[in-house]
């Protein structure tokens, strides 16, 4: 088993057990938040920042792989599968039909923070793939 395969296996098994690595911007935002609405906005901004980093790392990986069409297609397939995994993980974590009624006003914040955590994990995997290129 390669380092990458081991990393993917661990991340697939324990995604919710890994500690959050919130950014300094998120921590600063939450210190000044005065209501749940503000905390939700902080989490949404964090999710956007992490997603932007994922997109940057993914584009760099694709750029390194342009000389290998087969590998390029497999990386794209992997990323599409990860997006489905991320969405399914969030849905499994919050399965209620009426999410606002079941989970309350914190639901948007919790979803954004879980999505950001899962995205950070994917960034690590993509960076490892990039180093192998």
User: What 3-state class would DSSP assign to 68?
Assistant: coil
12 vs 56, residue with greater confidence: 56
Domain for residue 102, yes or no? yes
pLDDT in tens, 79-126: 999 999 999 999 999 999 999 999 999 999 999 999 999 999 999 999
- Residue 132: per-residue pLDDT: 87
Q: Which domain holds residue 49?
A: 22-132
Give the separation between CA 50 and CA 47, rounded to whole angstroms.
5
Domain for residue 7, yes or no? no
**CATH code, domain carrying 75:** 1.20.1270.180
Domain for residue 12, yes or no? no
pLDDT at 29 over 70: yes
Domain for residue 116, yes or no? yes
Give the side-chain half-sphere CA count within 13 A for 128.
13
To the question of pTM greater than 0.95 for the whole model, the response is no
pLDDT at 17 over 50: no
- Residue 1: per-residue pLDDT: 52
Domain for residue 115, yes or no? yes
Domain for residue 108, yes or no? yes
Give the whole-number percent of the chain exceeding pLDDT 90. 82
Domain for residue 17, yes or no? no
Domain for residue 2, yes or no? no
Number of domains in the chain: 1
pLDDT at 12 over 90: no
């Amino acid at each position: 088993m390669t380092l990458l395969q081991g990393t993917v296996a661990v991340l697939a098994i324990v995604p919710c057990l890994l500690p959050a690595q919130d950014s300094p911007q998120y921590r600063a935002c939450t210190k000044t938040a005065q209501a749940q609405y503000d905390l939700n906005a902080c989490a949404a901004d964090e999710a956007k920042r992490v997603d932007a980093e994922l997109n940057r790392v993914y584009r760099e990986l694709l750029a390194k792989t342009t000389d290998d069409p087969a590998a390029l297609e497999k990386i794209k397939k992997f990323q599409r599968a990860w997006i489905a995994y991320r969405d399914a993980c969030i849905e499994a974590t919050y399965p209620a039909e009426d999410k606002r009624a079941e989970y309350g006003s914190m639901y948007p914040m919790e979803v954004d923070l879980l999505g950001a955590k899962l995205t950070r994990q994917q960034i690590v995997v993509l960076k490892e793939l990039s180093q192998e290129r």
